[in-house]
Structure 1
């Protein structure tokens, strides 16, 4: 591994457990890190990973002075909560060169790492999301204003001219909406690619400028676009295939059953390939290789990744709601004051400039805050899975310039 965030895959097929020197966790080590050479021989039956007991015993040698916890020290330092006989309780000591400790992460550490990166590197993170969100929302406001305003309401729906006018207007509106969706897609891809690079450097404790993030992300942008379009196309094909029997038979119940069956399948596939984006960006891989990597990394951890992703979605949705809804309500109230009940009935109150602009301002603020959190959680989930399966903590420590880390490092001091 090199010092750049473009992490290479360690070994020919690391997710299949073929990485030389990597441990599967059954030898009592955490994150696949083997015990120090020449150290104590552990019994074959060890506590499950993450469950730590006090090493102190009544027959222990005379106690040395206990090491006091360092003020403000986190899990990355050797000071920790003292158990009976001076033993260590809680999580094992771990180096923390950046925003996360170099060991398997829990939910709180993943969320904290995403927020800490946004807080520490805000000069780089927030301008990226602010520019992307502003461009997307400006185009969205223009599309909504002029597309919805042009939707004709025929005074005589039965006349041929009115129907033709309605279909022509609807076709133009669909083109505008598709163009708006394409702009949102491009903006999201650019922001995701650059944020991925920033988060990968933050894990190592390195800063990153906007120019550096762009230069590192740019070579993979077309592949990331291809990956996003491939996943979207796959989802559309699955829905159409499951709805097709009901459509051909003209049976609404069969069509509804197909749609209901498509939902869990789409969720399962979305989580299965949720780590493809960071794999493609950080390993500089192809689209197909990134899909395979994500499938291997998620295997056996689907429910855990689903829970973390779902909770992140709920948090970001709540944050967005408390920002957007009050501004949208104020805009709607202004539109109501201008057009009255008639404006609410025909929709002009919701498509007035006040309502659209205030809603867009709220959306820009919300996306500027929530986009880094969502991207950060995805990147840190990818890092966490590689630490658990491939001992990526060794590679990260080496890239961060840490000394005495790994199999040949001296054991950390204990209080007993």
Structure 2
């Protein structure tokens, strides 16, 4: 036991030892003693405790005369987790308190925590996004804000890309796919399993080629729009001429990146369908067709994984001025550990873009079908051939739809690249300095990471 009052219980000895010759407290008579009668068990000289001890209650020094019948007041509550810190110069962070809660520089002297533990402070926002890790809604809003603020530049680039790739898609479908593919078996209930399987394979190959053209269009638009989005993040104006001047030195590398990704995709697809082709060539047509269909499904999954893995290669190539191989490795590094997040955000952007595109394209498709020989009723016929009229009118609608949706999809991809670099490389500090934000990242301010 310690000799400090408050640790030793009232009435106990000041130490664990006992004076020799001291009697047992149980032998001491209880009750009040007459004033003229001496105590039969006087205290030993070593005992320093009085016979009258305070009641067994929390011990605090009396502040003045108190009523014996009134219970002692409860101790004052200490500062809780949600309370304000002591006011005064310095506080918890060495700064005087201000209207923001824990001082003018929230938290324990850092900005913006508000009253109590209210959350992180708002980040600096010189352009279309705040300079901190982004949420899905902020990326979509940033992409739309970029298109709305820089609509002349963004729509000019997307219109050019849409026209080029839509012409390629129309020519491919009109000159090659409509003659080489036979899908009439899908609408014929009397067709055999082999015929239906072959027709399904033709549909998947046709759809795969058109989807590949669409993906290349998005990749090209992402590369060309990356300088526009980067200027929008900094809040700086950009014209179509300035965007072209920034992108022009990287155009050859961008075309090389597109070719490399096309070869990778074609190689994966060839490897997946090669077993089915070999089995069909050996004489087993049914088994070969089944293996080809299975290979197409497998190729679709692998291509999807590669597309997400290398989806940030175009922004890395254009904004970091990297080569093709370095851009691919940078994309793989930034996506590593976040593949499902990247996939989900880009899938959401594609769904939104496709909804907008369908709203624009469907009227043109109906008009093209009405002007063709098959008529609108032929839309439900799997074997109908609309011809060039339908392809051209539908292609015009696709160009208009792509002109609107490509900046959204490309903007989300570029903002994903910026978000990943903010999370992993503190890019927000460089962006703040480039935007001219004074004191960003210094002690007492909030880092965007």
Smaller-chain TM-score bracket? 0.5 to 0.7
Q: What residue number does 2:271 align with?
A: 241
Verify the 8 A CA contact 2:366 2:376 in the aligned structure 1.
Answer: no
Distance change >3 Å, CA 347–CA 148, structure 1 → 2: farther
Distance change >3 Å, CA 148–CA 395, structure 1 → 2: closer
- Cα distance, 1:296 vs. partner? 0.9
Verify the 8 A CA contact 1:278 1:379 in the aligned structure 2.
Answer: yes
Q: What residue number does 2:362 align with?
A: 325
Superimposed CA distance per residue, residues 185-204 of structure 1 (whole angstroms, 9 cap, x where no aligned partner): 98766543321110111111
Q: What residue number does 1:309 align with?
A: 346
| TM-score (ref. length: structure 1) | 0.66
Are 1:385 and 2:449 matched, yes or no?
A: no
Superposition pairs of residues 38-57 of structure 1, within 5 angstroms: 56-57=82-83
1:363 to 381, 395, 398: 398
| TM-score (ref. length: structure 2) | 0.62
Q: What residue number does 1:351 align with?
A: 387
Superposition pairs of residues 2-21 of structure 1, within 5 angstroms: none
Verify the 8 A CA contact 2:84 2:116 in the aligned structure 1.
Answer: no
Q: State the aligned residue count.
A: 319
Are 1:401 and 2:436 matched, yes or no?
A: yes
- Within 1, Cα distance between the matches of 2:393 and 2:119? 48
Q: What residue number does 1:211 align with?
A: 241
2:407 to 355, 372, 376: 372
Verify the 8 A CA contact 2:169 2:213 in the aligned structure 1.
Answer: no
- Cα distance, 1:325 vs. partner? 1.3
Verify the 8 A CA contact 1:126 1:368 in the aligned structure 2.
Answer: yes
Q: What residue number does 2:332 align with?
A: 295
- Cα distance, 1:410 vs. partner? 4.4
RMSD of aligned residue pairs (Cα, Å): 3.8
Distance change >3 Å, CA 338–CA 59, structure 1 → 2: closer
- Within 1, Cα distance between the matches of 2:215 and 2:339? 26
Are 1:118 and 2:155 matched, yes or no?
A: no
- Within 1, Cα distance between the matches of 2:431 and 2:295? 46
Verify the 8 A CA contact 1:98 1:205 in the aligned structure 2.
Answer: yes
Superimposed CA distance per residue, residues 277-330 of structure 1 (whole angstroms, 9 cap, x where no aligned partner): 111111111111111111111111111111101111111111111111122112
2:319 to 282, 297, 309: 282
Superposition pairs of residues 10-89 of structure 1, within 5 angstroms: 56-57=82-83, 60-61=86-87, 66=99, 86-87=115-116, 89=118
Verify the 8 A CA contact 1:189 1:221 in the aligned structure 2.
Answer: no
- Cα distance, 1:137 vs. partner? 3.9
- Within 2, Cα distance between the matches of 1:357 and 1:279? 35
- Within 1, Cα distance between the matches of 2:86 and 2:419? 36
- Cα distance, 1:207 vs. partner? 1.4
3-state secondary structure, aligned to 2:429: helix
Distance change >3 Å, CA 255–CA 206, structure 1 → 2: same
Unaligned stretches of 5+ in structure 1? 1-53, 69-77, 154-179
